[in-house]
């Protein structure tokens, strides 16, 4: 397989929406994500600790794993040549087993920096609700502002940039 340029900078416009991604969260989703990120804190695997000590509804998705979900979501759309520069996310409420996570996003900026690197800014929303509930009742659990480098041609490769050529 070769690294196809799935998305070029010129194909993206402000206001463009990314395809929605829906994932049903299980206890395994939470525990697998916590252990994959070497996060051993009990609120991510111990129901009694989470509910009785932390006072929340259940074990919940940990921060590094949320970051990994955001990465997966935007690179699903942009392809392997896309390179993450920056992510800023805010967790408003926790993601619990039994939730359906729905990722949606919109492009807020398209630009080229002084080093010639193409960038898109994307606002991602992670909404949650009961899997069987009306999606219109879902609430935003986390938001993430992503700065993503995209190739400007089929031969451009943002991954080849370093030093002063990479300004994330």
Partner 1 sequence: MTNNNLTDLPVAVTSVIGVSQYLQIATFDVENSYAYNTLAATENANSLFWDDAVAQELTSGRILPPTTLSLWMRPHYWEPGAEGEQVALQVHFDLKKIFELPEAVMTDNTIIFYEPVRAGDRISNSQVLKSVSGPKTTKLGSGRFWVIDVEFKNQHGALVGIESYTGFGYRRDQEGAAS
Least distance in angstroms from the C-beta of 70 to partner 1: 7
Evaluate whether 166 touches 117 at the Cβ level (below 8 Å).
yes
Least distance in angstroms from the C-beta of 40 to partner 1: 4
Least distance in angstroms from the C-beta of 149 to partner 1: 10
Distance set, CA 122 to CA 30, 41, 75, 84, 111 (Å)? 25, 31, 12, 11, 12
Q: Which of 104, 103, 94, 98 is nearest to 132 (CA)?
A: 98
Distance between CA atoms of 14 and 25, rounded to whole angstroms? 31
Least distance in angstroms from the C-beta of 99 to partner 1: 15
In the bound state with partner 1, the residue whose beta carbon lies nearer, of 117 and 134, is 117
In the bound state with partner 1, the residue whose beta carbon lies nearer, of 85 and 118, is 85
Q: Where are the beta strands (DSSP E) in 70-165?
A: 83-91, 99-112, 118-130, 139-150
In the bound state with partner 1, the residue whose beta carbon lies nearer, of 28 and 136, is 28
Least distance in angstroms from the C-beta of 138 to partner 1: 19
| 160 Cβ contact partners less than 8 Å away, ≥ 6 residues apart | none
Chain positions contacting partner 1, by CB under 8 A? 1-3, 23, 29, 32-33, 35-40, 53-55, 63-65, 67-72, 75-76, 80-81, 83-91, 157, 159-160, 162, 166, 168
User: Residue 107: helix, strand or coil by DSSP?
Assistant: strand
In the bound state with partner 1, the residue whose beta carbon lies nearer, of 80 and 98, is 80
In the bound state with partner 1, the residue whose beta carbon lies nearer, of 2 and 136, is 2
């Amino acid at each position: 397989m070769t690294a196809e340029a799935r998305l070029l900078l010129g194909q993206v416009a402000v206001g463009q929406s990314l395809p929605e991604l829906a994932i049903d969260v299980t206890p395994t989703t939470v525990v697998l994500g916590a252990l994959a990120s070497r996060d051993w804190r009990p609120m991510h695997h111990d129901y009694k600790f989470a509910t009785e000590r932390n006072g929340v509804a259940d074990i919940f998705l940990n921060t590094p794993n949320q970051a990994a979900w955001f990465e997966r979501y935007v690179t699903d759309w942009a392809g392997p040549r896309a390179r993450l520069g920056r992510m800023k996310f805010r967790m408003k409420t926790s993601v619990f087993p039994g939730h359906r996570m729905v990722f949606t996003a919109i492009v807020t900026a398209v630009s080229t920096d002084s080093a010639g690197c193409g960038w898109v800014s994307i606002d991602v929303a992670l909404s949650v609700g009961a899997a069987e509930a009306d999606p219109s009742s879902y609430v935003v659990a986390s938001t993430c502002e992503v700065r993503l480098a995209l190739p400007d041609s089929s031969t451009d490769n943002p991954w080849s940039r370093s030093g002063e050529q990479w300004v994330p």
